[in-house]
Structure 1
Amino acid sequence: MVKLLEAVGRWVIAFLEFWGRWFLLSAKAVTLAFKPPLRLKRFIYYLATIGSDSIPVIAVTSLFTGGVIALETYNAFHRFNAEFMIGAVVAISMARELSPVLSALLVTARSGSAMAAEIGTMRVTEQIDALEMMAVNPIKFLITPRIYATTISLVFLTVIADIIGYIGGYLVSVHIFGVNKTLYLRYTQNFAHMEDVFHGLIKAAVFGFLLSTISCLYGYYTRGGAKGVGESTTKAVVSSSIAILIFDYLITYLLRLFNL
């Protein structure tokens, strides 16, 4: 019993320590963005590497995701002669849930791991210490532009995922199953609304902030040489993915609670 209590106590302390560090690091990174120098070039660079370079993988994933939704729902809707409703299902599913979550998980795997590995390598090779010696704030220089670039990029990537996912569902429904395209588009317009898109964009912004801050946090506090960098990268991806799924539920619950 004593050992169990000790294990629980250590877990609670580690949990509180992690979120305490996360809050302090996030607060510093967000507020430092408004202090000169602004370093817009670094922000634009991360917009390109995190946002633009992620478009191909987001596009392919969203196209087939929309197609899979259409494939899975066709048999059920066909029994009631309601195949034209597939478009609304694809649009709402992609906008509210699948586009922000899948985009966030893909960016976590692609860019979140890179953030943790790069910053972690700089930590163990004492490059961050060198920045501090040169009076350069490492949080502002390394973390702030990544956080803002990731948050903004994920919002736009989610919009792209919405569009391409719907195209995937349209191609499968209309060109494979022969659904009437006029009814398909009309019922999509009737049942899918802009608030569905806004819900997804709210989630995307929160997910972008979470995955970037958690990934940078693990990289910034890396210890133990090359092995420590690998461990930090793994923990960053796992923790970010879990946080995305947990906050996905919380945001959905709050939006429904307040009827937003």
Structure 2
Amino acid sequence: MRKINPAYKKYVKLPNVKLPNVKQKAIKLSDKTIEKKELATIFFSELGEFFLFLFNTFKETFSREFEFKEFLRQCFQIGNRTLPLISVTGVVIGLVLTIQSRPVLAEFGAVSMLPGMVAVSIIREMGPVVTALICAGRIGSGMGAELGSMKVTEQIDAMEVSSTNPMRFLVVTRVLAATLMIPILVLYADALGILGSWAGANIKGDVPFVLFISQAFAAIGFDDLLPAVAKTIFFGAAIGLVGCYKGYTAGRGTESVGKAATSAVVLSSLFVILIDLIAVQITDML
């Protein structure tokens, strides 16, 4: 290090640096960097595990030994679990939309447009998204908790020992059942939503059922129904995949069952919203 001549020391201003504070800041910065690195490592490793799980599920879907009886049982379970809740939700959606929209349309003298407006709103957006979110909470949590409890009690390991493929028996059947049943449940909720709209229109008026239904279906086109049904297929696949993944990869402790069910609901609901956003953008471009 070069020494400063004592005669010129008064002209040279050395920076007032406190080494202990600099050292503490450097330690904090390094700790934060390590923490961010660990979080990024966990995120990308889990993302890789999910894509590997998706690949194995896709591969086992087209295997020769398909568990058809288990698939039918899962379809019945999914429909039986959610049918009462979907019924109430569908009627309430149509009823609320009609009650809220009727005064606004009455101000412009466009009450006759109420059936078509409500039908398009339900079929395009409200019916698929609300039904998928309810199924994410009901079906996704059920799959996560069921497979998570099987993981904790080592039933999945016992299936592997007994030469039974757990991916084919547990995961593929549930994913395909959710992919098939959720579009059916959405169409059922749409029909009940239109009936609820007719009931709401008759609260302060007298609209014949045949006239209301004819006006509602006159406003619905093939370009409204096809994108709505197509995105519900992706809703069902996403809900089934996330619920099965969270349950299948759960930890060994009993707390992991609750964590698997909770994370399955949150992640599948997020996927439903993101898929809906992408579907709306694609439909708008077309």
TM-score (norm: length of structure 2): 0.84
User: Shift of residue 125 of structure 1?
Assistant: 1.2
Query: Is the CA contact (8 Å cut-off) linking 1:62 and 1:168 kept in structure 2?
Result: yes
Please state if 1:70 is matched with 2:98.
Answer: yes
User: Shift of residue 52 of structure 1?
Assistant: 3.9
- Unpaired runs of at least 5, structure 2: 1-28
Counterpart in the other structure of 1:84: 112
Please state if 1:105 is matched with 2:105.
Answer: no
User: Shift of residue 198 of structure 1?
Assistant: 1.4
User: Shift of residue 5 of structure 1?
Assistant: 4.2
Deviations 1:61-88 (CA, angstroms, capped at 9, x unpaired): 0101111000111111010111121111
Query: Is the CA contact (8 Å cut-off) linking 1:83 and 1:179 kept in structure 2?
Result: no
- What one-letter code is carried by the residue in structure 2 that aligns with 1:48? F
User: Shift of residue 21 of structure 1?
Assistant: 2.0
Select the structure with the greater relative contact order (CA < 8 A; seq sep ≥ 6).
1
- What one-letter code is carried by the residue in structure 2 that aligns with 1:14? I
**In 2, Cα distance between equivalents of 1:8 and 1:219:** 27
**In 2, Cα distance between equivalents of 1:180 and 1:121:** 52
Query: Is the CA contact (8 Å cut-off) linking 1:51 and 1:150 kept in structure 2?
Result: no
Please state if 1:177 is matched with 2:204.
Answer: yes
Query: Is the CA contact (8 Å cut-off) linking 2:119 and 2:219 kept in structure 1?
Result: no
Change (3 A) 1:4 1:62: farther
Where does 1:112-131 land on structure 2 (aligned, <5 Å)? 112-131=140-159
User: Shift of residue 179 of structure 1?
Assistant: 5.7
Please state if 1:237 is matched with 2:268.
Answer: no
**In 2, Cα distance between equivalents of 1:184 and 1:212:** 36
User: Shift of residue 13 of structure 1?
Assistant: 3.1
- What one-letter code is carried by the residue in structure 2 that aligns with 1:177? K
Query: What is the percentage of aligned positions where both structures have the same residue?
Result: 29
- What one-letter code is carried by the residue in structure 1 that aligns with 2:71? F
Please state if 1:96 is matched with 2:128.
Answer: no
**In 2, Cα distance between equivalents of 1:66 and 1:224:** 45
TM-score (norm: length of structure 1): 0.92
2:250 is aligned, of 214, 222, 238, to 222
2:254 match: secondary structure:
helix
Counterpart in the other structure of 1:46: 74
Change (3 A) 1:132 1:72: same
- Unpaired runs of at least 5, structure 1: none
Query: Is the CA contact (8 Å cut-off) linking 1:63 and 1:164 kept in structure 2?
Result: yes
Please state if 1:26 is matched with 2:54.
Answer: yes
- What one-letter code is carried by the residue in structure 1 that aligns with 2:246? Y
User: Shift of residue 44 of structure 1?
Assistant: 0.3
Please state if 1:212 is matched with 2:240.
Answer: yes
Superposition RMSD in Å: 1.8
Q: How many residues align?
A: 257
User: Shift of residue 40 of structure 1?
Assistant: 0.7
